[in-house]
Amino acid sequence: MNWVAIGTINDIPLRGARCVKTPQGKIGVFRTAENEVYAIEDHCPHKGGPLTQGIVHGASVTCPLHNWVISLETGKALGADEGAVRTIPIRNIDGQLSIALESILVAAE
Amino acid sequence: MAEKLVIIGNGMAPGRMLEELFERAPGLYDVTIFNAEPRVNYDRIMLSPVLSGEKAYEDIVIHDDAWYAAHGVTLHKGAKVTEIDRQAKTVTSANGITVSYDKLVIATGSLPFIIPVPGHQLPGVLAYRDLDDVEKMLEIAKGKGRAIVIGAGLLGLEAAYGMKRQGMEVTVIHLMPTIMERQLDPAAAYLLEKALAERGIEIITKANTKQILGSNRVEGIELEDGRVISGDMVIMAVGIRPASQLAKDAGLAVNRGIVVDDSMMTSDASIYSLGECAEHRGVCYGLVAPLYESARVLADRLIGGNAEYQGSVVNTKLKVTGINLFSAGDFAEAPDREEIVLRDASAGVYKRLVLKDNRIIGAVLYGETSDGSWFFDLLKKQTDISAMRETLIFGQSYQGGSQLDPMAAVAALPDDAEICGCNGVCKGKITGAITGKGLTTLDGVRAHTKASASCGNCTGLVEQLMSLTLGDAYNPAAVTPMCTCTELGHDDVRRLIKAKGLKTIPAVMQELEWKTSCGCAKCRPALNYYLVSDWPDEYADDYQSRFINERVHANIQKDGTYSVVPRMWGGVTNSSELRAIADVVDKFEIPMVKVTGGQRIDLLGIEKEDLPAVWADLGKAGFVSGQAYAKGLRTVKTCVGSDWCRFGTQDSTGLGIRLEKFMWGSWTPAKLKLAVSGCPRNCAEATCKDIGVICVDSGFEIHFAGAAGLDIKGTDILGQVKTEDEALEHIVALTQMYREQGRYLERIYKWAKRIGHDEIRRQIMEDHDKRRAYYERFVFSQKFAQVDPWSERVSGKDKHEFKPMATVGFSAAAE
């Protein structure tokens, strides 16, 4: 797996998110109250809302457009809604964050 | 010379027995203990706190090495007894120690039951019985991943909670439809399952394990229905069986456990058995209380007494932090049984007593368990409870009318005692209305008596009166909870924030027993508002609990771009402002410019990253944020008034601008839009606003509680005042009253309907002191609120909000 450095955990507010731009669209990187980090597509399965702009609670985020709640762990919509976004492998080594962008890098090489 | 007492097993039961023995007859026996585990006697009940990290091994040691030395006990650690020779009266351990006895106690405890499904011998499949198991679990937990617990009984759930606390994901598999079915009825099991789910523990009921997956070690499990759950360890907590093989091999009578009589003696008069390995009157006990009871009996027998063990009724408590759960006795339903149930959903309390012939035979308590020991005592003593039957469920402190109990205190109040100070409503009036009008909800009582309809401080008292009057017919769940994170409604939360002096979101969640670790997108913005509103000088605004618009001070649009509305005081602008806006539109290629309903100019389609630059340019022209995104003061719409209009009676534009300059920046429960019209022709449409002013010759008519959105509703008149200053003070006081009492996202017309328009008029128009106090609290709060968020961000605040964290994956060649 190709790990690409994206910054440190302190770049993201607690219970917050930042987005990372990639050739395949934006990826949301989330930091929970427990200091866990997750990466998912920054694109709500409902109407494409930017999930990084939502409120982060537990290990989920509420989309700012229509309040869908997306699990950061599975990428799946929680509750009655159905849909999912891609999850992206993320690694946290001593606060240094990297995401795995295998397919993207292969395409670029 | 002292007789030789040999004990096989060093658990809690023989430990307690020895304490009793040494206390009553020191030196009577020469004691030797064989312990299969390589350690001293520790408190197995406390393994769960060790697993969850709340305690360490050292904290749970009952008898340390010094204790054994002081009592002259020979302790063979790590010595598992493999043979009892009843003829020679000796025992021999696996490591070759042979000791002779006069009296022998077998206390080998129990073995965990491991379901023999395929894969059950893989590394990573663990039981949960002793400290070795705990150490193995903690080792695996270091790598995080997922723990799968099979069995949602007491031990299984404690193991699950421990693993969750260690940072693992946890899934619990349970064969039965409800969890802890041996200790809990379905209602309590439901509450518990919910509480555990909210702690992030996934529970799958009616699930049968087909096999454990993995080649070299556990990789997951497969259920009978084909579902596969991946995981890094499997904890089997499906039950225990008495460790009776040794006794069996020695030829003692063994059924499920080692059979003992009421003196704890086995079929051999020199051999006793104690603890989980023993079977007394057909029952094997697995909880500590009965084992301690039988330990006392055995100690007495060893001294030469004639105590008899009569069997025990057991009770259970779950050791999961923050979950209060108690169960005892038999709580199955049967025709000859009666039950008393108390549910208090807003407090998360469920209590059920099962009665037979006026005696308690079973009790399940969830949420509030402080009376558990009292109920248990009544149960054990088989006390006739008919005399206190009516009040039994309220617990011990209620009996005898103790004034410490709030319910009893309310019950003892005379009918003319005042309950609601705001509206002067006495107890008799409330109870009279409840019975006379058949009221069953708090809102009903409010509507008919006005009690608790104002400040809400007496809501608790009123609810207690309703409970007293209606008994089980009153269901406080009629209060709609704020969200699924709590059972409390908005009003309760607001009242408790003030009453308990809670000043941070974590404090609210802790003190009010939030069911989620950090709330949800519904309650967090609400709590943030309540705290901003109640503690303007002390509370540090939590931006992560604000909706995106209030976090980035612009309005998010469907495509993820933002719209920006600069403030134009009273809707008035000029050529240099318009020129600056035009320049910004050109520079940032803003695709859409639109005039809003509130007399502002809206710039739509701005990329988030451009926002600070847009604000910088607007700021140079003197613009501040129009807060078109805020649950707060938005716009004050005006007409041109007496300066220009031939019908204008007062300077409506001037008053509008003055109001806006005074009130901008204030946060309110929902958006707040004002308008000032210069005459009753009402060109500023003030009579469908949250607060409106219609200027007349003799002064200013203040209107409130209008709506022109989802609902359409004309305003009501609050009252008329003579001067602009008075108009300002009344409007500000009204706003502050709404700020203090409104529920988050509740527009002013809904709040006013709930509180009563007359009550609002009384407090704002008639009660001068009250109005002045509201006004002054608003003024104080504005000291901290009137900071232009745009200029703050232009100067660098919250930079991270407006920039991507990184840009990656684009090939060098493409750049």
**Ranges B271-275, B483-487, B546-550: which has the least confidence:** B483-487
Q: Report how far Cα B492 is from the mean position of its chain's Cα atoms.
A: 15
Q: Is the pLDDT of residue B431 over 80?
A: yes
Domain with CATH 3.50.50.60 in chain B: 3-110+242-303, 114-238
For residues B601-627, give the mean pLDDT: 94
**Ranges A76-80, B634-638, B697-701, B742-746: which has the least confidence:** A76-80
Q: Are A20 and B806 within 8 A, CB to CB?
A: yes
The CATH architecture annotation of domain A3-108 reads: 3-layer Sandwich (2.102)
Comparing CB atoms, the residue among A11, A16, A101 nearest residue B808 is A101
Q: Report how far Cα B11 is from the mean position of its chain's Cα atoms.
A: 36
Task: Tell me how close the Cα of B520 comes to any Cα of chain A, in angstroms.
Answer: 5
Q: Is the pLDDT of residue B659 over 70?
A: yes
Domain with CATH 3.30.413.10 in chain B: 633-788
User: CA-CA distance, B690 to B93, in Å (whole number)?
Assistant: 86
Task: Reduce the secondary structure of chain A to three states and give it as a string.
Answer: CCEEEEEEHHHCCCCEEEEEEECCEEEEEEECCCCCEEEEECCCCCCCCCHHHCEEECCEEECCCCCCEEECCCCEECCCCCCECCEECEEEECCEEEEECHHHHHHHC
For residues A81-94, give the mean pLDDT: 92
**Ranges B441-450, B532-541, B653-662: which has the least confidence:** B441-450
Q: Work out the mean pLDDT of chain B and round it to a whole number.
A: 88
Is residue A70 less than 8 Å (CB to CB) from chain B?
no
Q: Which two tokens stand for residue B261?
A: 């009589």
Better pLDDT: B417 or B14: B14
For residue B145, the chain A residue with the least C-alpha distance is: A73
Does the structure's ipTM exceed the value 0.95?
no
Q: Are A108 and B809 within 8 A, CB to CB?
A: yes
Candidates 3.50.50.60, 3.40.1390.40, 3.40.50.1820, 3.30.450.20; correct CATH number of B114-238?
3.50.50.60
Task: Tell me how close the Cα of B175 comes to any Cα of chain A, in angstroms.
Answer: 25
**Which pLDDT value is given to residue B404?**
45
User: CA-CA distance, B337 to B335, in Å (whole number)?
Assistant: 6
Q: Locate the domains of chain A by residue range.
A: 3-108
**Which pLDDT value is given to residue B321?**
66
pLDDT category at B632 given cuts 50, 70, 90 is: very high
Domain with CATH 3.30.390.30 in chain B: 324-406
For residues B312-340, give the mean pLDDT: 76
**Which pLDDT value is given to residue A109?**
38
User: CA-CA distance, B783 to B781, in Å (whole number)?
Assistant: 5
Binding site annotation covers B455? no
Q: Are A7 and B806 within 8 A, CB to CB?
A: yes
**Which pLDDT value is given to residue B423?**
66
Q: Are B548 and A64 within 8 A, CB to CB?
A: yes
Return the CATH class of domain B633-788. Answer: alpha beta
In this predicted model, what pLDDT tens digit does every residue of B72-85 receive, in sequence order? 999 999 899 999 99
**Which pLDDT value is given to residue B445?**
85
For residues B156-183, give the mean pLDDT: 89
For residues B688-707, give the mean pLDDT: 95
Q: Are A109 and B547 within 8 A, CB to CB?
A: no
Candidates 3.40.50.300, 1.20.1090.10, 1.10.10.10, 3.30.390.30; correct CATH number of B324-406?
3.30.390.30
H or E segment and range at residue B92 = strand B90-93
Comparing CB atoms, the residue among B518, B560, B800 nearest residue A57 is B518
The SS3 assignment for B663 reads: helix
In this predicted model, what pLDDT tens digit does every residue of A27-49 receive, in sequence order? 999 999 889 999 999 999 999 99
**Which pLDDT value is given to residue B813?**
41
Better pLDDT: B402 or B703: B703
Cα angle B546-B550-B555, degrees, rounded to a multiple of 5: 130
Between chain A and chain B, the number of residue pairs with CB atoms below 8 A apart is 104
Q: Is the pLDDT of residue B63 over 90?
A: no
In this predicted model, what pLDDT tens digit does every residue of A61-86 receive, in sequence order? 999 998 899 999 999 998 878 899 99
User: CA-CA distance, B79 to B695, in Å (whole number)?
Assistant: 96
Q: Is the pLDDT of residue B455 over 70?
A: no
pTM for the model stands at 0.53
Is residue A45 less than 8 Å (CB to CB) from chain B?
no
The CATH architecture annotation of domain B549-629 reads: Alpha-Beta Complex (3.90)
The CATH architecture annotation of domain B3-110+242-303 reads: 3-Layer(bba) Sandwich (3.50)
Neighbouring residues of B292: CB distance < 8 A, sequence distance ≥ 6: B12, B13, B16
Superfamily of domain B413-478: BFD-like [2Fe-2S]-binding domain (1.10.10.1100)
**Ranges B79-83, B317-321, B433-437, B576-580: which has the least confidence:** B317-321
Q: Which two tokens stand for residue A22?
A: 């990639």
Which of B15-24, B188-197, B271-280, B322-331 has the highest mean predicted lDDT (pLDDT)? B271-280
User: Which of B808, B810, B815 should one mutate to test binding to chain A, selecting the residue with the greatest count of A CBs within 10 A?
Assistant: B808
What stretches of B400-544 adopt beta strand conformation (E)? Answer: 418-420, 425-426
